[in-house]
Every structure is written in structure tokens, then in C-alpha cells.
Structure 1
Amino acid sequence: MKKEKIIFMGTPPIARTMLERLTEADYDVVLVVTQPDRKSGRKQLLTMSAVKEYALSKGLSLFQPEDIKSDHAKIMETDADLIVTCAYGQFVPEQVLTHPRFGAVNLHASLLPKLRGGAPVHKAIINGDAETGMSMMRMVRRMDAGAVMAQCHVPISETDTAGTLFDKLAVAGGDLLIEQLPSLFDGSAVFVEQDESQATFAYTITPQEERIDLSRPLSQVYDQARGLIPFPIGHVLHEGKKVKLHQVRKKAADHDLPAGTCAGLIDDGFAIAVEGGYLLVDEIQLEGKKRTDARSFYNGVGKQWLHTRFDR
């Protein structure tokens, strides 16, 4: 016999993992709500969300409102015990959140009240945090401000990128969701209000934040670069042209080069001098070109750039 009826709302791969876990645990997912298909990539092809792909593969009922504030009748017509959301991407109106008898809960990828907002995974790495986590909370109208019922901690390694951290958080969040749902349904869950004085924010990455600041110390430059991998991908400028950094390492070292100097190949990476050492770029992409490995880049354009500096 199926368990409680759930409306699931989410869009990216981390949300897909939550939906997978719900169906695997035999909850009755009566409706899946996800963002409309969007154009993406260089060819601007119409692409469905990761959540939609999974929902279609399982034959789940699907709803993709352009604006859920004005288009939510399908949700209100659906009998459900609970709404579960994870990175849905739109503000959900109050009448929707209170529609099921158990209301709505959200899985957010930070240790709330830290890093509320749309880019908590990227910002945790960019900030140089040693750990982050998943929070399961009551959904309210204010962004990520609901009372928290459970959290789990996830360490951030020195080699994590946003991509690898998303993968870790997806597993941890799925475990948290399945562990905690029974207490929600039997009434034993305890919700604790967030301490507003401790709140910090992780707003969506801006185009300005995608440009790597080479004037900062090595650890901060490295954290910014890896925090933008595999999307949206950080870049530097060379004579006004974008140079995307797809894979990076860091190497502490003494040198007397000005920050941003192209220092050639070091440990098989294309080296950019910064305060305290070198940012080593293993995969690089020139504007309008395909991404390439460091040695191929150096044997081509890279040698000509030796001792030049990236734009400041």
C-alpha cells in the first residue's frame, strides 16, 4: 500500500534526487511541479529540467506553470497530504503552501539560518567554509526563513567544486528527507524557529561575481574559481577577451611576480601568479573556442602570453 500523498516541487539535479528517494520509499507522488522548459547551451536548445526528465520516466503527473503565483489551480485541485520542495525556483503563494493537511516543507542546501537564497552551495565554497549541510524546514512566504525541523552536516574538502558538493548534498538531503518524514506525519517532529540575528544570504551568482578577482590571496582566488565549477564557470580577461577556468588547483609558493601574471606551465597546469602562489588551470577555454587541457593551451596561445598579465 502506498504511503502518504505528496506534491513535489523542484527543478535541478539535486531536486531530482529528492524526488527519486520519495518514489523509492513508496510515497505516493501525486503531482510533480517544475519550471517550464528553458533554452540552454550555445545552440539555445529547449531543455527540460532534471526533475521533469525523471517524472516522465516514471509516468508521474506533471505541471509546469510559468508563474505559479497566478497559475496554481492544478495544485489546489490535487488531493495531497504534504508538499515537498527543493530548489523549485519560484516563490510559492501562501494558499498553495497551506493547501495540504501537513502543509509544506523545503530541503535547502545550507545550515540555516546561514546562506539563505539561491546559491548556497556556490557561496559556501567561495566563502571558504569548512562545512555546509542540508536543512529541512517549514515553508513560509519569506525566503528560506521557516522553522527548521532537522539538519545534517556535510564537510567541504579542499578539492570540492560546486558540482561535487551538490552531489554530496543530494545524497545527504535524500537521507534526511526519508528519515524525517515519518516524524512529520506522526506529529512528533519539532520545528525550531531560526535565529534571525545569525542569518546570512547567498543570492544568485551575478555576472560580476563570475569574474575571478586575481588581486586577492591564493586561497580566496582558488575558492572563487572552484566555487563556480561546473557552472556558471569563472573567467578572467586577457586583452578584453574572456578566458574560462574549467578546472583548477592551487600551489603555494614564493615569487615576486605581479598578481595576474601568466607564469607558464607548473605541475602540468597553466599557472597564474597571485599573492601567495599560483592558481593552476588544468582546463581552459578561450572566448569563442572549445575548452582544452593546459598543455595544449600552452603549446598554442599560452606561450605567447608568458609574462603578460590578465586584465585588472
Structure 2
Amino acid sequence: MKERIVFMGTPVFACAILKCLKEADYDVVLVVSQPDKKVGRKQLIQETPVKALAQTYGIEVFQPERIKDAYEQILRYRPDLIVTCAYGQMIPEALLHAPRHGSVNVHASLLPKLRGGAPIHKAIINGDSQSGISIMRMVKQMDAGAVMKQVAVAITQDDTMGTLSEKLAAAGGKLLLECLPLILRDEAVFIEQDESQATFAYNISKEEEKIDFTKPLQNVYDQIRGLIPSPIGYAFLNGKKIKFHAVRKKEQAHAHQNGELVGMMEGALAIACEGGYLLVEELQMEGKAKLDAKSFYNGAGRNLIGSCIM
């Protein structure tokens, strides 16, 4: 008889892990995901990515508002193992310890570094040269469980939160499949984390989405690409919010004021920063559609040259 697995996850990143479990023919008897949310101006209900994928496999989906008040329904599925990945709620200890093989998590950092809900965003924002995946035991404390195995993933200067997520998701699925046979035979060795080395990557706040153009070019560049494709960094231009969807950087000495909109440069809209220029390829003004830099410049942008982005 196959071991019964309950999978818990919510965003696109977690989809890769569920897909690996199914393609490896593991018996996923239930998927637990966050409740669907209303999005956009029309407040249309949008399914979580993990729910949508689970339905294509014909797996039953459970979406409790508060899992601590509803976890007993999960126990009815008699899981032998719980696998979590970016679920989004603190899971009660009674549920974590119920399966005979316990509960394991696929976390997108090299623990104990970057515990929390935004390790991929923060790795880029912090300017780190690598991230990684950790397979760990689930415990009550956030991402503090013992670690079985890790794999490092390099972060390039071209990576955004989106591209790094794709690389980490692929690495996470592969690593989990390497670990599962040992976990299900109760032969896995888990090593406790060094608490003195722990750092945290809490969910991105509204304040962290605001780009500070008084900082050096590399810091500005890292912050913006760490917020692409979501939640997207912004600043203000003539009192209107401007969002940055695609950027490059050019290191070069100049005499412009930090945040000054300089004009077109190498096919992008150049904004002066300490140490060079932020080259914006795609942007979005408040109340407007997303535009490439040339289209923006040929429209309203040409008359804004010399203005400062705050």
C-alpha cells in the first residue's frame, strides 16, 4: 500500500513541488491551500495556483480560513506524511505530529538564513549571491525545524524574484524526491539548526515596496528586481505613482541629481542614481497601462525629463 501524503501549499512556487509528487506517483490524498481571494477592481474570485493544479489531478482540496480551527478534518484522511511548501498559515502542532512519518517542509533558503514568508524576495533585495532549498522538519516555531538536506542555487545579476523562484522550485522538487524515500523509511537524518545564525525574511511590507533613489545604484537595482513580478516596486514622479516592471543597471560616473529622469539611454529610460543609472525597460504610471520605455518617452515621458523621482 502506498504511503498517504497530504500536501499543503498555496502560490505558484508550491505548484512545482505538487507536480513532482504526482509525476513520481506518490499518493497525494488531499491538498490544503489558502482560501481563494478577490482580486482586481471587479473583485473577481481567483483560485490559488495550487488549488487550480490539484483540480487538474482530481485531488480533493481543503481551504480553511483558520487551519487551527479546522485541522481535525485533515486528520480524517489518515496521512502518513505531510509535505508543506509556502502554505501561508502557522500549522498546529497536533497536525504536524499526527502522521507516522511526521511533517516536512520545502523552504526556499539555506536555513537558518532567511526564515519566513519572503526568502526569495529578500535574497535578491539583500544582494545575496546565492539562495537555496532546505528540506526540514516542521515544528511550531517558524522555519526552525531540523534540516535533512540542502542545495544551493546561484543568484545572477539578471535574476528577478520571478526567475529565481523558477530555479528554486525546480531545485526544490528534485531535492524533495531525493529525500522522500529515506523519510518514508524513517532513515532520514535531520540536523538541528544553529540558532545563532538565524536571519529572517518576513513578508514584504508596503514600506519595502517604495524605492529609495537616494541609495546607491546597486541597492536600488536589487530592491526593484527583488519585487518583480510581485508586488512591484514604486516611487513618485510629479506626485503620481510610477511602478518598475523591468530594469537594468549601468555603472557610470555622472553629475545628475539622484532620482533625476535623464532620458533615453541604450533603449531604456535612464534614472540617475549614486554610481550610475537605473535603466527602466517597462514601467507603469498611476492609472495607466504598463508601457515599454520608448512608448512612454514618446508620449508623456518626453516632457518629464529633468524631473526627479522621489
TM-score by length of 1: 0.98
Instruction: Determine the structure 2 residue equivalent to 1:129.
Output: 128
1:20 CA displacement:
0.7
The reply on whether 1:151 has 2:150 as its aligned counterpart is: yes
1:83 CA displacement:
0.1
1:163 CA displacement:
0.3
Letter in 1 for 2:75: M
Question: 2:125 and 2:309 mapped to 1: Cα distance?
Answer: 21
Instruction: Determine the structure 2 residue equivalent to 1:18.
Output: 17
Question: 1:41 and 1:151 mapped to 2: Cα distance?
Answer: 38
1:79 CA displacement:
1.1
1:133-179, Cα deviation, whole Å (9 max, x unpaired): 01010000100000000111100011000000000001000000001
Aligned-partner SS, 1:270: strand
Question: 2:102 and 2:137 mapped to 1: Cα distance?
Answer: 8
The reply on whether 1:229 has 2:228 as its aligned counterpart is: yes
Unmatched 5+ stretches in structure 2: none
1:3 CA displacement:
3.2
Change (3 A) 1:167 1:42: farther
1:187 CA displacement:
2.3
Equivalenced residue count is 310
1:44 CA displacement:
2.3
Aligned-partner SS, 2:53: helix
Q: Which stretch of the first structure deviates more once superposed, 155-164 or 235-244?
A: 235-244
Instruction: Determine the structure 1 residue equivalent to 2:51.
Output: 52
Cα RMSD over matched residues? 0.9
1:259 CA displacement:
0.3
1:89 CA displacement:
0.4
1:96-118, Cα deviation, whole Å (9 max, x unpaired): 10111011000010000000011
The reply on whether 1:89 has 2:88 as its aligned counterpart is: yes
Correspondences of 1:232-271 after superposition (within 5 Å): 232-271=231-270
- Taking only the aligned residue pairs, the percentage that are identical comes to 58
Check whether the contact 2:35–2:63 (CA below 8 A) recurs between aligned residues.
Answer: yes
1:253 CA displacement:
0.8
1:43 CA displacement:
3.0
Letter in 1 for 2:156: S
Check whether the contact 2:9–2:84 (CA below 8 A) recurs between aligned residues.
Answer: yes
Correspondences of 1:93-132 after superposition (within 5 Å): 93-132=92-131
1:11 CA displacement:
0.4
Check whether the contact 2:214–2:274 (CA below 8 A) recurs between aligned residues.
Answer: yes
Correspondences of 1:154-233 after superposition (within 5 Å): 154-233=153-232
1:74 CA displacement:
1.3
Check whether the contact 1:3–1:26 (CA below 8 A) recurs between aligned residues.
Answer: no
Aligned-partner SS, 2:55: helix
Check whether the contact 2:101–2:186 (CA below 8 A) recurs between aligned residues.
Answer: no
The reply on whether 1:61 has 2:60 as its aligned counterpart is: yes
Question: 2:149 and 2:276 mapped to 1: Cα distance?
Answer: 41
The structure 1 segments of at least 4 consecutive aligned residues displaced by more than 4 Å after TM superposition are none
Instruction: Determine the structure 2 residue equivalent to 1:27.
Output: 26
Instruction: Determine the structure 1 residue equivalent to 2:302.
Output: 303
Q: Which stretch of the first structure deviates more once superposed, 119-128 or 295-304?
A: 295-304
Question: 2:41 and 2:293 mapped to 1: Cα distance?
Answer: 23
Letter in 2 for 1:86: C
Question: 2:212 and 2:2 mapped to 1: Cα distance?
Answer: 51
Question: 2:39 and 2:62 mapped to 1: Cα distance?
Answer: 20
Question: 2:19 and 2:2 mapped to 1: Cα distance?
Answer: 15
Instruction: Determine the structure 2 residue equivalent to 1:37.
Output: 36
1:61 CA displacement:
1.5
Question: 1:16 and 1:308 mapped to 2: Cα distance?
Answer: 43
Check whether the contact 2:238–2:307 (CA below 8 A) recurs between aligned residues.
Answer: no
1:4-49, Cα deviation, whole Å (9 max, x unpaired): 2100000011111101110111111011100111012343211001
Question: 1:130 and 1:42 mapped to 2: Cα distance?
Answer: 38
The reply on whether 1:5 has 2:18 as its aligned counterpart is: no
Question: 1:135 and 1:224 mapped to 2: Cα distance?
Answer: 24
TM-score by length of 2: 0.98
Question: 2:186 and 2:80 mapped to 1: Cα distance?
Answer: 13
1:53-101, Cα deviation, whole Å (9 max, x unpaired): 1111111111110100111121121111100000000000011101110
Aligned-partner SS, 1:69: helix
